[in-house]
Amino acid sequence: MSLKELVGESIAAERPRSLAEQSADKLRELILLERLPAGLPLKERELSDLLGTSRTPVRDAIRLLEIEGLVDHFDGRLRVADPSMELLTHWLMIQGALEGLAGEQASLNATDAELRHIEKLQSQMIDLAEQEDDLRRFELDMEFHCAIVAAAHNPPLVETHQQYNSRLWRARYVSAKRQANRDQQMQKHQGIVDALLERDAAKASAALISHLRNAIENIKASYADSSTKTDR
């Protein structure tokens, strides 16, 4: 047994994050929490003042967030990205297919240590279920899904999943924080974990695809709720 399998998770020292990455982290959080709402015009100078840094790391941070699909250009102007529900649905359908494949391959290829790690992440999400820390719960949720994809041991799948996951950060955050379906989400996560532990490839694949389809309905419901509040 290797040391990584024995320990169960990586303990390698993390590379210090650059100022651009730190700036991207702060802006990403503001976008996810909707303190910078979808469609909001952005200016480098104002972002530099907000973050208390020069415009060079801000410019580099913007490039990182563009790759993730959190900011884009509309009519030649930088803004917080505001993809249509139709486009989000297309992306989520593709993401569901990718995670379905990941569940199938993880059932066959994951080490016991990787499965224990996935199970541990689920337990941590259950512990946070009734708390108000939506962002931390969401970070665990994304770590849970990415851990399953990594456990598939399919590098092209990991790369493609990351591309779509970046575009869907804000939408999946909207879905994850919706209180109405939180119990259902936890049940679906547990079904995914159970299938992986049983190494039932078909069951794990179906559970993940169903979970992503449910995310589409959650996002639609959340957007409808927001529209209703705006109309009042």
What pLDDT, in 10s, does the model give residues 58-93? Answer: 999 999 999 888 999 999 999 999 998 999 999 999
Is pTM, for the whole model, over 0.95? no
Which CATH number does 85-231 carry? 1.20.120.530
Q: Determine the Cα–Cα distance for residues 154 and 157; give it in Å rounded to an integer.
A: 5
Task: Tell me the per-residue pLDDT of 145-185, one tens digit each, with 9 for 90 and over.
Answer: 999 999 999 999 999 999 888 888 888 887 777 766 677 78
Count CB neighbours of 6 within 10 A: 8
pLDDT at 102 over 60: yes
Q: Which of 26-35, 54-63, 102-111 has the lowest mean pLDDT?
A: 26-35
- Residue 8 — very low, low, confident or very high, per pLDDT cuts 50/70/90? low
Backbone angles phi, psi at 10, to 5 degrees: -75, 140
Cα 100-170-145 angle, rounded to 5 deg: 30
What does the domain layout of the chain look like in residue ranges? 19-80, 85-231
Mean per-residue pLDDT, 45-63: 96
Average pLDDT over residues 24-47: 91
19-80 under CATH 1.20.120.550, yes or no: no
For position 221, what pLDDT does the model report?
Answer: 85
Place of tokens 């009519």: 75
Token pair for residue 74?
Answer: 């509309």
